[in-house]
Structure 1
């Protein structure tokens, strides 16, 4: 694809972000849901970058330098939002995005809790993933296929050199773009703002590491009649669901931290635990209970949420409904059934109806 054509397509994608971001205010995560906005047209990259209101000063500068990366940043942010909602779908806080809110996820990110730790980590991971894949697809002018060296344990008869995901560039760009938002600020010692900044930087890195350290080698067979007498191999990103699962485990085992005596860095609060690594998530404050609607914390509450009365887990009606009880009603579900394969080559199904009990929190 010619660079001029790619630039025009990039511009068309980016200008569609403007209206929503302009109203949603200052958070780059809004690029992940900005497609809801209408299209405006700008004269060039300079105008385009300044109109993306979700960017900090440093991110605007990077946008000027890497304007063709911005659609990939938006896709990465969207991946993070979707994965967050999947991982927390059975919990009181289900990672709901808040329309018109400056932070996408609501005021919860202003609380230095486990949930804020996860949202920062999964969003940073999404950018690494999306940028790495865009490099491989030839969508970006500054990068191409992976230059990773041949793994030492690869069979010597296999060819190393297929076009792999450029995880090194994805990590490098994501580190610059995501972290500069925090580094744009200068906060005094012991201040809550400094604590959140240091926490966010640590968790951003944890998200990036969850992608960078878990890439794998993919191979394709060649040969007569699929004999696989020859293989071509390349570096491949982990599936993003694997990344989300890994970060959810880190969320469950997150480390509580506090300021050191000088108030310049965060250290583990409980000395009996090991020090958190760069892959671990950290938090400063305990989470709200999320049982009731609370605009100050960003909690939407659990009234009306579906629950499972047959389990004692977080999605169980007792925990999900915070002891308030639940309502039960009948719901008709229409589904495909009695599917049969017909030669050749299609599947024909009937339509079945099923009545199920649905339980929702009072």
Structure 2
């Protein structure tokens, strides 16, 4: 039963998810981080909508009731395990997985909205428009959102390839990478790409690079200005919280201060010969600097990479000492590098949901147009 002739109570509840998902997409673009606490209220609203719709279909004796069970079963027992498996295989990030779980619970069927329109100049002429315009035959909006998101992602890859061709940057990395000035890396999310023959391989994660620079309390410009000194593990003195490497959360590695909190880069001591680093960074006043971790403080630990990974007590996005050293050598000597920007998947997923609720499943429409579906 539609409320005010617009939509069912369950479908109106589902609209409450849109602002939260839009915020998640925005945060994914800005920082590639979404607070875990966001997903609990969204999941609660989605579960409430699910229960309301299930109560309306109970006792599932007629065709509509049984169809609801089939669609709900597909959404919960296919899409939820799929999202978890994709996360375990590193195809999804944690936020991507949670977003798809929320969609699977909240949108096991396709909502129907009837929007009244007053046609001017005769405002007494009332016309109604139904959404989505082309619902899929499967009728699971969560699946339509995922399908649309995948198509958006494929379009992104095609645009990336086309832009590289137009710029005549012909390389095995042109399908997955963007040619990026090293000076811009502090403001970029993604991973460095190294090309080995015809095979592009992912290298240092730029979030890990920011973590390392924040841990040392230096900027990327300082590394490039004197890589020989920075390469010496004895040059690491006092260290600082590495944060999680997000661009806008914490101190900026171009020398500024993050706008979302965090600490500032340390003030240089007047006796320090290098204004980019703290008073102990030269390693002359701190006898223990770089020696607390055994071999991690020896000359063999170039860039103090092992010491960094030991200090942060984490993986820094799977970074190894060798990957970190290789990446630092490259950013120290090159002016531009291939970077795999990575697609903030919450953005196409949100766009895919909005498209699914207004237009429908793009793949279904396309296949129908060519007579396949």
Higher strand share: 1
- Relative CO higher for 1 or 2, CA cutoff 8 Å, sep ≥ 6? 2
Q: Which category of TM-score, normalised to the shorter sequence, fits these structures?
A: under 0.3
Higher helix share: 2
